[in-house]
Structure 1
């Protein structure tokens, strides 16, 4: 059954059919996911296996972290390491060319990889121990909740990838070697409300961008702000929060894999609500050494649009672009300010 696109907002799909024994219901779900992947690569899912109690606890952890003083948060700055774990200041990133640095702060987290692990020793993508905020109340509970949630999201991402494999007429376990030894990045994000007089063309919680990895699963709070670009009608549409649901979107790897058949779509956050907004995205990046190459049934009658690329190269290229863009912006603004001061003096 075709998905209604009357509202043009990404549809909400009941993912429970993926786990059930009803073959027809599962086939219907796969068809719906396929339609979303072909349209704009976005949908929401309910009926997953993440308990609402765990969602609420991890969102509380996020809010507790951002309530800490700036001094406490910067003690675990991600600048302390080279593997992308720790606190990210406001205005650290520019994902959309031509906008100001983004109005968000974050905490990067991942699997707890000790310094003795081969991934850390060999400096694999995003691999190392987490940095934990020692100034937070009940740190042990904070860590336990965060890592329990991370592990649960890792399993859900694997299930979503299995469903996507079925949409491409591939075996459910096709992405097994990509998943084996995979790394993922989870971020606690906080978006202060945009100033009422801010220029929306310049000020973004997150600028318009596509994600770098394979799939992203996003837990939103009740405050809206996420928007998705609809290529067909060339408009932005809100992705309204659905309690307990995950927003799922395809990343650039999936578009490369499918030879542009599936979409890694533009999305952004503009927090005009006047409220604090919190979200927790989970970026499934895959095995760092895995080579992304065109899927065998996606270039039958046409050449591959992209050369092969490793997961590490794909992800680091996106990081370097967005963070480098923010640094260049700050240097330019500092230069303008210095020139103005000299002119006044």
Structure 2
């Protein structure tokens, strides 16, 4: 199967070097599996163990898998994606009324994200949000921890964003809890292991807009999103039909995570890789939009309570403490944010 974007290769002398920059092999479900979690969501007897086995295989091998049967109503997804597209179509000055802050809330223009190790900034534009409510113990710590924050919604200009996004956000968290029960079981723990660390989760949401990559971008090796691993525990991604997500496998080969209708793409993040003493893989991935159309994605990083302690010993890996001492969710995410987003003033 050939890359459908191959006809858009740069026509100049840089074509050969550009080809290595974006190339990715189109794969089938043997590489990134599609896992049906419908029976798990429905509570069908035996489903937990069946899903756990499939999630463990994918999470150990490549750290990525698709899920179908997630039971998120189509109308909720449609409302959220329509609101996302309409939000990004707003004039820049309107979105700029709520610029991203060091609580990771608000609108981030192109050029603010520069991921660790990249040659230049990313092309992406992002709107960030998080929980609307916090547990009382966490709300009392808002002044001490900037990630325990209030959302910044453009209600005066675009109230639909909050109204149409939050039902999807809540539904996605329910899916995340089900998957974490399977991951806990797959690691030999009580399926409720993560529940005690997710009483008021720091679920971080992002709407992401990717413009079309140009020949100039490709000469500069500028990505929609440069190669990176996700910071947290579990990522749940709704991508549109335009493609562009690529994952690096254990052989060091980039493979295309093609859009599959009705699915979410899930992947393991750095915190769960650390928590599991590297049993579960947090793999590099990137986005380059060569589709000729604007690309949109809706992401929820389903992370634990800000004060949850991430300790490999708790997941049955006491030796992991030598490499990964206990850390709170907030401490770890703060550290990664400071290295990847220029609003913190420390990205080089």
TM-score clears 0.5:
yes
**Correspondence list, 1:263-282, <5 A:** 263-282=281-300
Q: Does 1:166 align with 2:188?
A: no
Separation in 2, partners of 1:303, 1:316: 20
* SS of residue matched to 1:48: coil
Which residue of structure 1 aligns with residue 89 of structure 2? 67
Q: Which residue of structure 2 aligns with residue 239 of structure 1?
A: 257
Moved more, 239-248 or 192-201: 192-201
Output the TM-score relative to the length of structure 2.
0.85
CA RMSD after TM alignment: 2.5
Q: 2:335 aligns with which of 294, 308, 317?
A: 317
1:338 paired residue number? none
> Could you tell me whether the CA contact under 8 Å between 1:220 and 1:280 is conserved in 2?
yes
Question: 3-state SS of the aligned residue for 1:44?
Answer: strand
8 Å contact kept, 1:259–1:298: no
Q: Which residue of 2 aligns with 1:341?
A: none
Provide the secondary structure at the position in 2 that maps to 1:153.
helix
1:83 equivalent to 2:96? Answer no
Q: Which moved more, 1:211-220 or 1:10-19?
A: 10-19
8 A Cα contact 2:312 2:318, kept in partner = no
Picking from 217, 228, 235, the partner of 2:236 is 217
- Against the structure 1 CA distance between its residues 283 and 75, is the aligned structure 2 distance closer, same or farther, given a 3 Å change threshold? same
* TM-score between both structures, scaled by the size of structure 1: 0.85
User: Alpha carbons of 1:143 and 1:7: their partners in 2 closer, same or farther (altered >3 Å)?
Assistant: closer
Give the distance between the partners of 1:210 and 1:273, measured in 2 at CA: 23
Post-superposition offset of 1:201:
6.3
Paired residues, what number?
A: 320
1:73-122 superposed Cα distances (whole Å, 9 cap, x missing partner): 1001113xx421100010111114142100000100122249x9825644
Asked if the contact 1:102–1:203 (Cα under 8 Å) also holds between the matched residues in 2, the reply is: yes
CA contact (8 A) 1:217 1:246 kept: yes
Contact 1:45 1:248 in 2 (8 A): yes
Unaligned runs of 5+ in 2: 1-26
Distance of 2:320 and 2:129 partners within structure 1? 40
Listed as ranges, the matches of 1:15-164 within 5 Å are 15-20=37-42, 22-79=44-101, 82-113=102-133, 118-119=139-140, 121-134=142-155, 136=157, 139=159, 141-164=160-183
Contact 2:339 2:347 in 1 (8 A): no
In 2 relative to 1, CA 71–176 (structure 1 residues): closer, same or farther, beyond 3 Å? same
Gaps in structure 1 of 5+ consecutive residues: 331-345
Are residues 278 and 300 of structure 1, via their aligned partners in 2, closer, same or farther at CA, if it must alter by over 3 Å? Answer: same
Which stretch of the first structure deviates more once superposed, 198-207 or 253-262? 198-207
In structure 2, the CA distance between the partners of 1:229 and 1:325, relative to structure 1 (3 Å rule), is: farther
